[in-house]
Structure 1
Amino acid sequence: MSHHLLAVFSLGGGGPLIQAIYERHAVTMRLAFASPELINENNFGDHLGKIDFYDSYLKFFTGELKEKSVPKVLEECVFSAKANVELSATGKTQGMLNRLLAGLVHPFIHAGYGLEFGLPGIVAEASLFEAGSESGVAHLVDQLPKLVLAKTPGADQEAAALRTAGAHALTILARVFRAVVTIVRFAQKWLPDGTDAADFAPKIEELVWMNVIFYGIGGWAGRKTTIMNADFLLTHLITSLLFVPSYVTYLSHRSSLILLRSYFATCVAWYVA
């Protein structure tokens, strides 16, 4: 519902239209329900992926966002080592970055709306979507946070990385179909450790071209009809792309690097799949 309402609002939709959209979606919404127990920092990782804890995770993230800034909550709860690579008492990782990109990147889109419009409540909802979703893309991107979070490049490595602008996204795309290497390694080559923040903007532009090729040209190629195949799955690569600049605006350099790599790998994986 919120995606539809905010999109129409941003396009200048008036009150009656927004009210009509709300009423149309409201009848499909589930009734609110109480979770079995409250979520706090101590048991945060115990109930990830359990829909019954929707209410508790929403209250947890709402409280966090009231006490801290949106960037701080994102850094701590989504992009930190604790949220991704550190093992809990149960021997599992929280995998919050994976969850952000799971579910056809819907949590990513939802949080993106919150960042774009400056609505912490929407960010809280997106965070609980992450917590309530299974880490469905874990096999693809579980290594991506580790590339930055689990190690710090040495001075020589970082200096060497700074001397290169990285491979172009379309060059990487061509290699996907020729080389037998993992998408994760492609993501590393596309955005090396030590990439300067000034290079993020052209890299985001490369993402735009790449996803448009996936959706647009991919929708025409190899078809015997003149009707484009507006693929529902690949549409999400276009809509989610709109929010990438907002994430980079809010996040630290380190977290932006992690996000861009992970998003790149996720988009390539959806297209190849």
Structure 2
Amino acid sequence: MTTPDFDDSLVERLFPAPTFASAFTSPSAPTPNAGVTPESTATLRRLLIENHKGSTYSSTIGVPTLVIQVPGPITHENWKNHLGNDDYYNAYMNFFSEEIQKHGLSQTFEKFIFSHEANWAKDEARMLDRFMSGLLHPLIHFGHAAEFGVEGMAVEGLAQAAVNRVDHENFYDACYFNSSNSDGGYTSSLTPPLSSISSNTKPQHTHAFTILERILKDGRLAVGKACAQDSQDQITDILNNEGKVIQEYASMWKTSEDEKEIQERVEELAWLVALMFGIGGWKNDRQFKADFYLVHLVTSNLFIPSILSLLRPAHRVELLRAYFLAILGWFVSRGRPALDVKGFFSSVTVDSKPEHSESLTDSSEPVGNPWYTLLTHTVPHRDEHHVKAERALAHSAALYGTRAKGHFSHTELKGAEEINGTLFIRTGGLLMGALKWTYRVKK
């Protein structure tokens, strides 16, 4: 085993100043905000480089740990041999650094995450499965590269995916993906060309809210049936036992390569994760439950538009379908929290304030923009999960806040007619209340 060796000039290139490229290539990607300075940029780069050189990754918890030694190099000949082994994290980082330098970010991403060779060919590397594992941390990490143009984050995200273990079965498989796009070039689709299948009939799409309602009513997915009540690894046990059932529901959610349809599905995902986390964590008779696992659905969803901007149309469809399946799996694994939609919208405020703050008016209407208050207290908050979640909710509010009551009446979800664009600010306020308002930075 050898000590990790970093090429300083390469690392400098991997962690440049953010460019916010995806903000101008995707209508649903986050846009930059004021506040960036040369000093803050230099600090950011320094911290990212220090983290890159000084940490590795534990697939058991999905977070960095201290780096010690590298067993040996990863090459094109052996890159499948050490998948799922944390010890090779830095070796995989070196490997993906070289690939991105040679072939670019998009081609490297498509080859090692979406190609048939990287998933269902000999030895079944199942890289898309690994990319969605580890509580979606590889996707979140990689998403920073897609949004900010910092390729070093992609290197780390791909390496995290490579060392993630895939303990479950019956979830992701070739049959779930039906893309027929293959150009014979550097990349190819998850599944080989389906030359024997031809149809002019467009598959019927089922809205995510309708699918969610059906999942809530399906007794097969109840804790105690899908897995033991005392299971120590509910997500793995549920996916092994009832993964095919969840996959059947996910298969009802259709999308094509059409850009308008892609953006419609992106919007569905934003509403779905906010609803699962926000309404799923709220009960009228108790404090809001900020579920640690479901909040990762909110934070990861923010990066989906930016990642989509890197992909060819066929792989955009595959990413959306893989991500939707992961969302459903995590929701079921958390016990399918009950959703009191009507109670939520009749009880939860749209104008959360710190306890010491008094309303500036006797009117029941919000004063100004409640997001200004919320985000002012979010920025210095000590919990990084909180900061990321509030940012994601604020972005969804900016995109979809105009949706009026009744917009989702066509879905089967109980109480869907009550849902409107205030879902995001209500959820953001509940999260802030649960994790406590921050009034000042503690030194």
After superposition, what is the alpha-carbon deviation per residue over 1:206-243, rounded to whole angstroms, capped at 9, x for unaligned? 1111111100000114x522x21111111100000000
Match of 1:169 in 2: 208
The normalised TM-score by structure 1 is 0.82
* Pair 1:150-2:212 in alignment: no
Give the C-alpha shift of residue 12 in structure 1.
3.1
After superposition, what is the alpha-carbon deviation per residue over 1:110-160, rounded to whole angstroms, capped at 9, x for unaligned? 000111001111101110001111124554223466443335446874421
After superposition, what is the alpha-carbon deviation per residue over 1:60-116, rounded to whole angstroms, capped at 9, x for unaligned? 0000000011110011010000001111xxxx3111101111011000000001110
The normalised TM-score by structure 2 is 0.52
Q: Give the 3-state SS of the residue equivalent to 2:83 in structure 1.
A: coil
Give the partner amino acid of 1:142.
D
Structure 1: which 4+ aligned runs deviate by more than 6 Å?
A: none
Structure ranking higher in helix proportion: 1
Instruction: Check the 8 A contact 1:99/1:136 in 2, yes or no.
Output: no
Match of 1:188 in 2: 251
Alignment length (residue pairs): 257
Instruction: Check the 8 A contact 1:187/1:265 in 2, yes or no.
Output: yes
* Pair 1:202-2:264 in alignment: yes
Q: Which has the larger radius of gyration?
A: 2
Match of 1:241 in 2: 301
Give the partner amino acid of 2:126.
G
Instruction: Check the 8 A contact 2:84/2:162 in 1, yes or no.
Output: yes
After superposition, what is the alpha-carbon deviation per residue over 1:29-76, rounded to whole angstroms, capped at 9, x for unaligned? 555444222111110100011111112111100000000111100110
Instruction: Check the 8 A contact 1:116/1:246 in 2, yes or no.
Output: yes
Q: 1:41 to 1:242 in 2, by over 3 A?
A: same
Give the partner amino acid of 1:182.
V
CA distance in 1, matches of 2:193, 2:259: 17
CA distance in 2, matches of 1:268, 1:229: 19
CA distance in 1, matches of 2:105, 2:126: 19
CA distance in 2, matches of 1:155, 1:202: 29
Match of 1:3 in 2: none
Identity of aligned residues (%): 30
Within 5 Å, which residues of 2 pair with 1:72-221? 72-87=107-122, 92-136=123-167, 138-143=169-174, 146-148=177-179, 149-153=190-194, 157-161=198-202, 164=203, 166-178=205-217, 182-191=245-254, 194=256, 196-221=258-283
Structure 1: 5+ residue runs without aligned partners?
Answer: 1-5
* Pair 1:254-2:317 in alignment: no
CA distance in 1, matches of 2:253, 2:148: 30
